[in-house]
Amino acid sequence: MGGMAVKAIVFDLDGTLYVSETFEQVIWESASRYAGHLLGVSAIDGGDRLTAVRQRLSDERGTQQTMAVAIEAMGGTVPELHRRFAEELDPRPYIEPDPRVVSLVEALGKRYTCWLLTNNNRTLTGKILDALGLANAFARVITINDTWRPKPDPTVLEELLAGLGHQPAEVLFVGDRYDIDLRLPAQRGCPVLLTKTVDDLMGLAALL
């Protein structure tokens, strides 16, 4: 990757710039309540059904599917799912800032155009970035509210690349879920980096 003329970096947020299994569980519980509401069952049964639908769609389509796609298949909507997330969830008790991440993103921001592309909503994204000490770290933050089309989405990707004004080979995508964050950019010709931990993320500076 060091030989590539990268000019811009597009980061995912959740699971990439921080990892919090406890907050993932809180998000899941909220989605389960919505699924239960849609089906007229308990939140526990709603969560079980949500898991089953998501797995079925992933098996049918051959790639990992998002929670939002499963909710839509159950008759819900992405805007309503995120309205509930924004209303019910506070990420701050579950996220601790990591000075290494702040230093990394700030350093990269001086050398590259750094954007954030997340399937999270604007309200939660703002709270998460505040908690991480990254509130002003990105030149642009694109949330689900901007399109209501969750990753992976070809139109969202093309609009993002057009907005950056760079060739695909010049735009590095960084994320923790290959099928959702990275597969489409890679197919388009963008370099990609899969990270599962903050330690993985910290290797980015050396790779560049």
Average pLDDT over residues 176-181: 97
Is the pLDDT confidence value at 2 over 50?
no
Closest CA to 97 of 18, 27, 175, 22: 18
Residue 206 confidence (pLDDT): 87
* Fold entry, domain 8-19+97-207: Rossmann fold (3.40.50)
pLDDT band at residue 39 using 50, 70 and 90 as cut-offs? very high
Average pLDDT over residues 162-184: 97
Parallel, antiparallel or unpaired: strands 171-175 and 140-142: unpaired
pLDDT band at residue 205 using 50, 70 and 90 as cut-offs? confident
Average pLDDT over residues 76-87: 97
Q: Tell me the per-residue pLDDT of 169-178, one tens digit each, with 9 for 90 and over.
A: 999 999 999 9
Q: What is the DSSP string of the chain?
A: -TTS---EEEE--BTTTB--HHHHHHHHHHHHHHHHHHHTS-HHHHHHHHHHHHHHHHHHHTS---HHHHHHHTT--HHHHHHHHHHH---GGG----HHHHHHHHHHHHHSEEEEE-SS-HHHHHHHHHHHT-TT--SEEE-GGGTS-PSS-HHHHHHHHHHHTS-GGGEEEEES-IIIIIHHHHHHT--EEE-SSHHHHHTHHHH-
Average pLDDT over residues 100-122: 97
| pTM score | 0.94
Residue 4 confidence (pLDDT): 60
Average pLDDT over residues 124-137: 96
Residue 174 confidence (pLDDT): 98
Q: What percentage of the chain carries pLDDT values higher than 90?
A: 95
pLDDT band at residue 131 using 50, 70 and 90 as cut-offs? very high
Q: Locate the domains of the chain by residue range.
A: 8-19+97-207, 22-90
Q: Which residues, listed in sequence order, are joined to residue 114 by a DSSP beta bridge?
A: 9
More confident residue, 111 or 207: 111
